[in-house]
Structure 1
Amino acid sequence: MKRREFLKAVGVGTAAAFGLPHIALSQARPVKVGVLLPLTGPFAFAGQAGLEGWRDAAEYVNEVLGGIGGRKLELLVEDTGYDVAKATAAFNRIVSRERPEDLLFVYGDSTGTAKALAPELTRLGLPFSGTTFSNELADPEKYPTIYIFGPTYNDMFEALLRQIQRTKARARVALVYSNTEFGRDPIPYAKKRAPELRMEIVHEEVTPTSFTDATSIILNLRRANPDFVILQGYALSVEPLILRTAREQGLKATFMGTYYSSDLALIQRAGPAAEGFIVTYHNPYWYDTLNQGVQELLRFRQRKGRDTSYRPTYYMGSATVMFAVAEAMRRAAQAGKLSRAGLAEYLEKIEDYTALGLSRGYKFVNHRLPQTKLYRANTRTGRFDAITDWVVLG
């Protein structure tokens, strides 16, 4: 599809196709989105990359798509340091100073932040999402305003366990996870599901989120002799170290991880030890240049004079959420329902939207998008190669 035809198909007019605003934004108050990210602290690399994605997508909405019903989209960015107390304080600052009719969505930095804010989000009727894929949060009865823009960790583990089942009958599986909500979240599901798929959990290893020596972990794994090892709850803080140590110690198991282990940084840091590492991932990679959304973001950054080298998974995920939220806002505005309740209504109605090709779609099931692909690390090319088509998980 030619670029102009593509832009027309997603509702962008001729002026926008030449990089000009679709329509002039009115002087009305902006529509605001609160963005609470760890711009400092242990996950600052993820927060800063994510912020790039939020800003690029928001600017694209304003400059190419004409904003939200003629109103400018504005981000309210706060640093959390990946600390629930700081995130809560930042949220309270934003909510206290902004008008409810202007502040329509908030994005947070963790499962802990989402749970801490949940009662107030419900009271305010304020739609929310975050970096979390917590299974518990994908419950519209308990958390009516929280949306998970991807599969839950249970969904991701289901995809990995199905891959194990396809690969080896009666496989022996080890679970290595951090002692955090992030790490523990899918473990009960894995322990229940594995026997149903006729595989055995032969070892569990619970660790801090970061450490500098993985020798004891690998020795324990060697004694357990698993066929597969699933890592959860680290966000690249220790996966490369574990993989390098496993290679040095001669452990032959296949290692796996979920969304936050899926970035190219894993291959770059682990080197040859990353070969064959399998991950779940539900956005295109920046190097998927046949993807229309990637092409649009690449051209947009070129026009802005911004770095067009590889953008990490945190960038892709953030941009995808921003596009989806903006589209729901645009549809709500067209229906005369641009409000928190209207945004929630239209988030449930955008299943035909694909965020310029960055998503398979937004058909929420229990406020999550139960779909992913599996990729395998290829150290010769330095990329993750898709090994499945979309795996739809109920």
Structure 2
Amino acid sequence: MSSEKNIVNLSRRRAIQAGLGAAAISGFPLRASIAQTGDIVIGAAMPITGVFAFAGVGLNQGLSDYCDWRNARGGVAGRRLRYIAEDSSYKMDQEMAIFKKLMGEHKPAVFFGGSTAWAKVAAKEVGQLGTTLTSGVSFASELADAKTHPYHFMVAPTYVAMGEILLEHISRSARGATKPAVAIVYSDTEFGRDPIPGIKAKAQALQIPVVMEVVTKPGAVDVSSEVAKLRRAKPDFVIFHGYVSAPIPEFIKQMREAGMKATPMGTIWSMDKTTVDTMGAAAEGWMGVMPYRYSYDTKDAPMMQAMKEHVAKARPDMSYASIFNVHTWLAGMAIAEVLERCLKAGKPLNGANMRAALESIDKWDTGGVTGLPVSLKNHQITSGRIYAYDGKTKLLQPASDWIQTS
């Protein structure tokens, strides 16, 4: 019997003795590490159809594009990246089925998923296996906790950190001794509620008064009573979180009709150009936080230029690469950096080694995708920049320097 089979059998016996039968019945073969020769598989469950197809298509394209671009340049330490993705339609059961299927059939070194719920469940499976890193679309705060999610990372700040960047910008922009007042409007969802305690704590630390909290359902809802509350509270800034678009445009429209001068601000998923374009007149003055550049911002950013050129060749009819494309291109870069560090050190591609490689990334130059060098020691990127919509150019333009959170 080969040494690899001995390791597998020993791992199975230890798992059973420890009462970890869930990994065995899930359909995953227990392995000490990912194969050390041949292609390196990156698996993904992407919401290519369904309610989040507007994001899923770009997410799928971005990671696929980066793998193609990297392979054309020799891959990672001479090994080809093989990207295998299936459509989850943003359905949890479907996402988990794809995850288990691809884990069993293709043994990916890294798996990219599309929801917070998936990441939480997958963390248990991946923790038992110890073979695979995971990443995804969610920036929920708990997913950046290396104690509970040791093999998961994100290539953006958490939602809490995004709120902190917004507040840092507000604080730095203040004139005089009095700090501007802030209101927070968020959706009654896990996504919406996630950063609110952290945002309030940061506001208190910066001595920024939070004069109103408003909670709504996501989507098209009647916001007239909520706007009346905001008008009475008289905030200087209104931070929206937990939405992609609606009901943000309606809030802004009614706020302006009520004579409010407050500046509306958002977080990442309400900051794509195509999303902001749909706001119409409400887009004027819209601001928000982004952890990386827009695809049209290529000055002094050679990797953004490389992505733009690759997309132009791969999809000549695509005039704009969305923030979803940029997000997964950067995820691909981070994955390749982790893999390369392991392989150049002669270490097997297993969870422990890839996690160590991930946490060794410090002062990493992303070629301008991010404005500051990146550290992934804490499993997240902790910087971003404020952008504002310009009605004349119909582009989101920088409105601040790059801001680093603690």
2:366 alignment partner, one of 345, 355, 361: 355
Give the corresponding residue for 1:315: 325
The yes-or-no answer on 1:187 pairing with 2:196 is yes
User: Deviations along 1:31-69, whole A, 9 cap, x unmatched?
Assistant: 111112211222110010111111110100111x21123
1:46-195 alignment, distance < 5 Å:
46-63=55-72, 65-99=73-107, 103-125=108-130, 126-168=132-174, 169-195=178-204
Aligned partners of 1:42, 1:237: CA distance in 2, in Å?
14
Q: Aligned residue pairs: how many?
A: 363
3-state SS of paired residue (1:159): helix
RMSD: 2.0
1:189 and 1:96 map into 2 onto residues whose CA distance is 38
Q: In 1, Cα distance between the equivalents of 2:263 and 2:275? A: 15
Task: Provide, for residues 310-345 of structure 1, a one-character-per-residue CA deviation record: whole Å limited to 9, x for no partner.
Answer: 111111111011112112212322222241233322
Q: Distance in 2 between matches of 1:308 and 1:40?
A: 19
1:334-383 CA-partner distances (Å, limit 9, x unpaired): 22224123332222233343333323333124211211111122112111
Task: Give deviations 1:134-180, integer Å, cap 9, x for gaps.
Answer: 22221111211111212111111111112222334243221111122
Q: Is the 8 A contact 1:173 1:229 kept in 2?
A: yes
Q: Is the alpha carbon distance of 1:86 and 1:361 closer, same or farther for their aligned partners in structure 2, counting shifts above 3 Å?
A: farther
Q: Distance in 2 between matches of 1:157 and 1:278?
A: 13
Q: TM-score, normalised by structure 1?
A: 0.86
C-alpha distance 375-302 of structure 1, shift in aligned 2 (>3 A): closer
Counterpart CA distance in 2 for 1:362 and 1:139 is 18
Q: Distance in 2 between matches of 1:337 and 1:296?
A: 30
CA distance in 2, matches of 1:382, 1:267: 9
User: How do residues 1-394 of structure 1 correspond to structure 2 at under 5 angstroms?
Assistant: 29-63=38-72, 65-99=73-107, 103-125=108-130, 126-168=132-174, 169-290=178-299, 291-304=301-314, 306-341=316-351, 342-359=353-370, 360-394=372-406
Query: How many angstroms apart in 2 are the aligned matches of 1:295 and 1:366?
Result: 28
Q: Which moved more, 1:205-214 or 1:51-60?
A: 205-214
TM-score (norm 2): 0.84
Q: By how many angstroms is 1:299 displaced? A: 2.0
Report the Cα offset of residue 223 of structure 1: 3.0
Q: In the alignment, what sits opposite 1:13?
A: none
Deviation at 1:237, TM superposition (A): 4.3
Deviation at 1:285, TM superposition (A): 0.8
1:113 alignment partner, SS class: helix
What 5-or-longer segments of structure 1 have no aligned partner? Answer: 1-27
For residue 45 of structure 1, give the secondary structure of its aligned residue in structure 2.
helix
Distance 1:68 1:108, change over 3 A: same
More displaced 10-residue stretch of structure 1: 267-276 or 130-139: 267-276
Higher gyration radius (CA):
2
Query: How far apart are the structure 2 equivalents of 1:207 and 1:83?
Result: 23
Conserved 8 A contact 1:240-1:266:
no
Q: Matches of 2:58 and 2:254 in 1, distance apart? A: 28
- Partner-residue secondary structure (3-state), 1:94: helix
Aligned mates of 1:387, 1:337 — CA distance in 2: 43
**What is the distance in 2 between the residues matched to 1:315 and 1:127?**
20
Report the CA distance shift for 1:270/1:364 in structure 2 as closer, same or farther (over 3 A).
Answer: same
Q: Which runs of 5+ in 2 are unaligned?
A: 1-36
CA contact (8 A) 1:329 1:343 kept: yes
1:137 alignment partner, SS class: helix
